[in-house]
């Protein structure tokens, strides 16, 4: 079957842009800031990315279809390093066009600001982020578009030589776009950790986290979690952090009929340098979350990544992982007019597995080309949530 006129037009435009960008960057020197001023304390960078991808399952559901996706992104960054406060700010726009599926094209802006203090006795940062997001949500098995708002205050204060206090105050909000039965979510978080220096390379860490989440469905949850772990050198050759603890979720709200839940909570992020060119990293977590239907989920996930740097221009990475998601509380459903009802509650239990590989060529900051391939499968007690998803992507980026 011959491709349609719309896809041919998009593909011709994409090829023309890529050809022009390649021709302009083949002989570029190492990247410098596009604009530098104030005695080199202030810098402005601009990054452009063009991509072509194919996704075999754009809705992350059993009956979904695949499509080609053409993407373009532009990011403007401002940095300032002068005085006590450092500034990082960015503005970006991400655009995607689908070859066949109508109505899924999007233009997503995002805005970010970070103020950092790295000198003096008390250090920390303040962050603000606003972004429009369009994605396939495997928890509800459809594509969603939302505005996401994040604010955070992070601090660290050394009490005495061997004791340090650190913590975070944060807010995360998600508001879905359009007329949808999905639940808007607002989450407030406060956590504090006490670090005790066991040696010059390892700290013992004890922490407490408070988290309050409220949905537009008149439901809310309060989470309390305590944990204990290590930070720094875990064992010989392996660095990072490992924490294990206990958490309690207390439901509330006019329409919330769920009981209390309790479970083990854990998080780990470690790395290991096999050789100068090969490195391994691993991440794992177990935590409660709230889906777009307002349901509580207890998710355990783990991921292992290997990276190989052949030389200064070529690198390769591969990763594999999986997850186990137990949907909690009472059974229920949300009806979407364009598809079957979304089921949640104790009748749903999902398991997933995935692997990804990518190849990167970096001539300089002015020209980077990457190719990636990924596969994932989700097994669920709900037939509609059983699916396989594969994708490949080719991206060209340039930073000035």
Residue for token digits 């059993």? 62
pLDDT at 332: 46
Confidence of residue 189 (pLDDT cuts 50, 70, 90): very high
Looking at the chain, how many residues does it have?
400
Mean pLDDT over 338-355 rounds to 74
Which domains are seen in the chain, by residue range? 5-399 (2.40.160)
Q: Is the pLDDT confidence value at 4 over 90?
A: no
Q: Is the pLDDT confidence value at 139 over 80?
A: yes
Q: Give yes or no for a contact between 273 and 301, defined as CB atoms under 8 angstroms apart.
A: no
pLDDT at 29: 47
Q: Give yes or no for a contact between 330 and 344, defined as CB atoms under 8 angstroms apart.
A: no
Question: 293 or 362: whose pLDDT is higher?
Answer: 362
Residue for token digits 């578009």? 145
Structure tokens at 105: 């094209």
Euclidean distance between CA atoms 338 and 178, whole angstroms? 14
Mean pLDDT over 258-276 rounds to 93
Q: Is the pLDDT confidence value at 334 over 90?
A: no
Q: In terms of Cα–Cα distance, which of 366, 393, 313, 361 is closest to 46?
A: 366
pLDDT at 157: 95
pLDDT at 258: 76
What is the tens place of the pLDDT at every residue in 5-59?
A: 555 555 554 454 444 444 444 444 444 677 777 778 899 999 999 999 999 999 9
β-strands 142-158, 123-137 pairing:
antiparallel
CA distance to 156, 193, 201, 237, 270, per residue, from 233 (Å): 20, 18, 6, 7, 9
Q: What is the dihedral of CA 282, 141, 184, 94, to 10 degrees?
A: 70
Helix residue ranges, H only, the chain: 5-25
The rounded mean pLDDT for the chain is 88
Confidence of residue 295 (pLDDT cuts 50, 70, 90): confident
pLDDT at 225: 98
Residue for token digits 């909570």? 265
Mean pLDDT over 210-218 rounds to 92
Strand partners, 238: 235, 272
What is the tens place of the pLDDT at every residue in 68-87?
A: 999 999 999 999 988 889 99
Strand partners, 125: 116, 154
pLDDT at 30: 47
pLDDT at 319: 98
Q: How far is CA 262 from the centre of its chain?
A: 26
Structure tokens at 130: 């606003």
pLDDT at 331: 47
């Amino acid at each position: 079957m011959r491709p349609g006129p719309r896809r041919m037009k998009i593909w011709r435009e994409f090829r023309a842009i890529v050809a022009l960008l390649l021709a302009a960057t083949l002989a570029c020197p190492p990247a410098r800031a596009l604009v530098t001023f104030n005695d080199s304390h202030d810098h402005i960078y601009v990054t452009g990315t063009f991509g072509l991808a194919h996704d075999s399952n754009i809705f992350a559901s059993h009956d979904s279809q695949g499509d080609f996706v053409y993407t373009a992104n532009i990011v403007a960054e401002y940095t300032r390093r002068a005085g006590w406060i450092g500034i990082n700010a960015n503005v970006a726009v991400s655009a995607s066009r689908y070859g066949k599926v109508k109505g899924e094209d999007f233009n997503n802006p995002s805005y970010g600001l970070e103020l950092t203090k790295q000198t003096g006795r008390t250090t920390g940062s303040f962050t603000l982020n606003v972004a429009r997001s369009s994605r396939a949500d495997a928890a509800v098995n459809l594509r969603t578009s939302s505005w996401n708002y994040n604010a955070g205050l992070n601090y660290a204060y050394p009490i005495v030589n061997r004791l340090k206090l650190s913590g975070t105050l944060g807010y995360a909000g998600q508001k879905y776009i359009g007329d949808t039965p999905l639940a808007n979510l607002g989450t407030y978080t406060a956590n504090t950790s006490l670090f005790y220096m066991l040696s010059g390379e390892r700290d013992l860490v004890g922490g407490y986290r408070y988290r309050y989440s409220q949905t537009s469905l008149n439901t809310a949850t309060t989470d309390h979690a305590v944990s204990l772990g290590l930070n720094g050198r875990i064992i010989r050759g392996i660095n990072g952090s490992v924490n294990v603890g206990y958490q309690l979720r207390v439901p509330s709200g006019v329409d919330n009929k769920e009981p209390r839940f309790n479970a083990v909570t854990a998080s780990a992020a470690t790395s290991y340098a096999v050789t100068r060119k090969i490195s391994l990293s691993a991440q794992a977590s177990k935590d409660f979350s709230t889906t777009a239907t307002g349901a509580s989920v207890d998710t355990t996930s783990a991921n292992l990544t290997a990276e190989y740097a052949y030389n200064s221009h070529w690198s390769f990475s591969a990763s594999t992982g999986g997850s186990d998601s137990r949907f909690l509380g009472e059974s229920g459903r949300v009806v979407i007019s364009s598809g079957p009802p979304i089921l949640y509650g104790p009748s749903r239990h999902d398991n997933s597995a995935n692997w990804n590989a990518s190849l990167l060529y970096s001539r300089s900051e002015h020209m980077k080309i990457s190719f990636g391939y990924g596969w994932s499968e989700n097994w669920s007690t709900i037939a509609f949530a059983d699916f396989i998803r594969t994708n490949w992507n080719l991206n060209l980026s340039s930073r000035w």
